Amino acid sequence: MNLPDEDHVMRFVPWSRLRRDEGENVIGFLPHAFELRPEEQSLSVNWLEYFSGDREIRIQESVKIFRNTRVVGKKSAFGIGNVGQIKEICGANGAPVRIVYEPEVNNQAHSAIRRLPRDDLSLLEALAADAFVELVRNVDV
Amino acid sequence: MSDKPIQSHSSSTALTNAAHSALKADALRNALYSAFKGSALGEEQVLGMPSALHAAAFSEDTRLIERRVNELLNPPSPASLTFVLAERQLEERLFDATASVKILTAQIAMHLEREWRDKLFRQLDSLHDLAEWEPDDEPIQQASFATFLKAIVEIKPQRRPGLGLSHGGNLIAAWTTGRDRLTIEFMAKDRVRWVLARYRDGESEYFAGQTSVSRLAEGLAPYDPKYWFSV
């Protein structure tokens, strides 16, 4: 199932791929936060609208799942992007991605960004700078 | 915005879970001893007497402390030993990687101000923070760091970059001016790839390139290097 364009997805970003200024203040994401690992076929995200409740509660529920299913360091953060905007930005950069709902046993909100090219640094930068525009720090949830 | 102090993870300051447990056990043992010290009994008697007597004679808090001490003294399970071992191996890998690039830095110390070198070391420690480490990531690669050092000597940026790491252990340097962003990934064999995002009249534009470190300055020349690197 394709996620609706008006919905949102959340991606976990470890400390090493957060963009920081020279004072070590977190100011965004590095493009590498959205880079596929060699063994990955798609980029893992959580579908926020899978959860009921207001935006705050959805964010909390999604973070709870991340914390239960992987290592989530105190200094890590989460990026939130609008599905339609992600698709538009990828399309404009020559990558017509699909964002699909792919629930997993321990993560019913799991979704995937498919057809994301490897090694396209401009596209990754566009995702980091203009698609995942909201940053939520783990310590704030 | 994060304003937390950078954590240092040299071998002298970082403690494994096992070491933490040992310290906790010591602390609790001391607390237990202190709790009994005021009694008329000697230390040996106190630590050796049966728990039934404890239950009758001492407070709930004291018995709780004793129970926790005993729990900590139980032999660890094989599974927890494996976990501790794996964590120790990872910690050693991270420490070794950090040490090797610090040694590399020392070899070109004359090209770096002391203040920047110290800051760079703190950034490297922070990148290898065990508590933040992604299990499948590679620690910083020496070949990538060597490329980074060559680039820094070449372009001599007055503004220091924020640093990051790719999955594969390539060092990433980021300069940010307002919304505009320059990101450079340093790879092995003196290769670099870079990308910049600029905003003009609200419209974003991206430029990217891949070149050798010796031609990095030339590659960035059309994009006003002073804008990124000058204070």
Q: Quick check: B218 pLDDT over 50?
A: yes
Q: Work out the percent of chain A whose per-residue pLDDT is above 90.
A: 96
ipTM (interface pTM): 0.94
Measure in Å the smallest separation between the Cα of B166 and chain A Cα atoms: 6
What is the residue-wise DSSP string for chain A?
-BPPTT-EEEEEE-GGGEEE-TT--EEEE-GGGGPPPTT-SEEEEEEGGGS-S-HHHHHHHHHHHHHHHS---TT-EEEEEEHHHHHHHHHHTT---EEEE--BTTBTTEEEEESPPSS-HHHHHHIIIIIS-EEEEGGG-
User: Which of the four pLDDT bands, split at 50, 70 and 90, describes residue B142?
Assistant: very high
Distance CA B95, CA B129 (A): 10
d(CA A71, nearest CA chain B) in Å: 7
Per-residue pLDDT tens digits for B60-82: 777 777 766 666 566 566 666 67
Give residue A131's identity as a one-letter amino acid code. A
Q: How many angstroms separate the CA atoms of B125 and B8, rounded?
A: 5
pLDDT confidence of residue B72: 59
Cα B127–Cα B129–Cα B131 angle in degrees, nearest 5: 135
Per the DSSP assignment, residues forming a β-bridge with A135 are A79
pLDDT tens profile A5-49: 999 999 999 999 999 998 899 999 999 999 999 999 999 999 999
Give the full edge-to-edge strand order of the sheet including A8-13: A98-101, A110-114, A42-47, A8-13, A77-82, A134-137
For residue B66, the Cα-to-chain-centroid distance in whole angstroms is 35
What is the pLDDT, as a whole number, of residue B1? 40
Q: What is the CA radius of gyration of chain B?
A: 26
Percent of chain B clearing pLDDT 70 (strictly above): 68
DSSP B21-36: HHHHHHHHHHHHHHHH
The pLDDT assigned to A23 comes to: 86
pLDDT, mean of residues A92-109: 96
Q: What is the pLDDT of residue B65?
A: 72
A23 to chain B: closest CA residue: B162
Euclidean distance between CA atoms A136 and A140, whole angstroms:
7
The Cα–Cα gap between B120 and B116 comes to 6
Query: What is the length of chain B?
Result: 231
Give the alpha-carbon dihedral of B59, B61, B62, B63, to 10 degrees: 90
Cβ-contact B169, B185 below 8 angstroms: no
- Answer whether residue B129 shows pLDDT above 50: yes
Cβ neighbours of B14 (radius 10 Å)? 18
User: Which of the four pLDDT bands, split at 50, 70 and 90, describes residue B112?
Assistant: confident
Which residues of chain A have a Cβ shorter than 8 Å from any chain B Cβ?
14-22, 24-28, 30-32, 35, 37, 71, 73-76, 93, 121-122, 124-126, 129-130, 137
* Whole-number pLDDT of residue B24: 44
Whether A126 has a pLDDT exceeding 90, the answer reads yes
Query: Is B64 within 8 Å of B54 (Cβ atoms)?
Result: no
In this prediction, residue B212 carries a pLDDT of 97
B83-112: average pLDDT:
88
Query: pTM for this structure?
Result: 0.76
What's the mean pLDDT when you consider all of chain A?
A: 96
pLDDT at res. B59: 73
Q: Which of A22, A76, A130 sits opposite B159 (nearest CB)?
A: A22
A74 and B131 in contact by Cβ < 8 A? yes
